[in-house]
Amino acid sequence: FNSNVIPLAPRVESTGWTQYAFVVYPLENSVGMEMRLRYANDFQGVTLWDDVSIVTLGDLNIGGTIVSIEDGRTEELPVKVHLNQNYPNPFNPTTIIGFELPNADVVTLEVYNMLGQKVAELLKNSMMGSGRHTVEFNASGLPSGVYLYRLNTNSFSESRKMMLIK
């Protein structure tokens, strides 16, 4: 416990992000700061951070430069669920499958052969945070051919073709 740190109440946003803020009051001959950040956890051990800001609340005279971080995001969140074309395509033996989520959602990503048989389950009912995601698919145990990959969420389903060439 530090009596100079006053936490503010966390705010949970509809996007699944939680915003935290706290104020650090100055000790003698020091400077106070207010720090804010947002984070989201995808429940698979990945924590995402953004909107980090540090604001000084007094004079700082230590001969240095004050640096302020205003917004760590460099791109906007997606506005709709989207399944991207894999790359490279054709591929041998690995490819990247990307998708975008505007909000946290439960995701299943599967690969099928042209007979409709499931040959791989890359994600199964995985809770994923909002944003852009990629999954690597290794098809080294599969024969050359055309395959379908399908993304399912609670409200979305889409399939695309990819070609494995050995």
**pLDDT (tens digit, 9 = 90+) per residue, 62-110?**
333 334 444 444 457 788 999 999 999 999 999 999 999 988 889 999 9
> Is there a domain that residue 69 lies in?
no
Q: Which helix (H) or strand (E) element contains residue 109?
A: strand 105-112
> Is there a domain that residue 107 lies in?
yes
Q: With bands split at pLDDT 50, 70 and 90, how would you rate the model's confidence at 111?
A: very high
Average pLDDT over every residue of 118-139: 90
pTM of the model: 0.57
Parent domain of 96: 82-164
Give the CATH number of the domain where residue 100 resides. 2.60.40.3080
> Is there a domain that residue 122 lies in?
yes
Give yes or no: residues 43 and 92 share one domain: no
Q: One-letter amino acid identity for 56? A: T
CA of 144: how far to CAs of 39, 83, 90, 164, in Å?
Answer: 42, 23, 10, 5
Give yes or no: residues 111 and 156 share one domain: yes
Give yes or no: residues 89 and 158 share one domain: yes
Give yes or no: residues 95 and 30 share one domain: no
Give yes or no: residues 29 and 99 share one domain: no
Say how many domains are in the chain. 2
Backbone angles phi, psi at 53, to 5 degrees: -140, 140
Go through 121-137 and write b for each residue having 16 or more CB atoms within 10 A of its CB, e for each that does not.
ebbeebebbbbebebeb
Task: DSSP for 26-43, please give it.
Answer: --TTS--EEEEEEEEE-S
Give yes or no: residues 132 and 94 share one domain: yes
Give yes or no: residues 41 and 99 share one domain: no
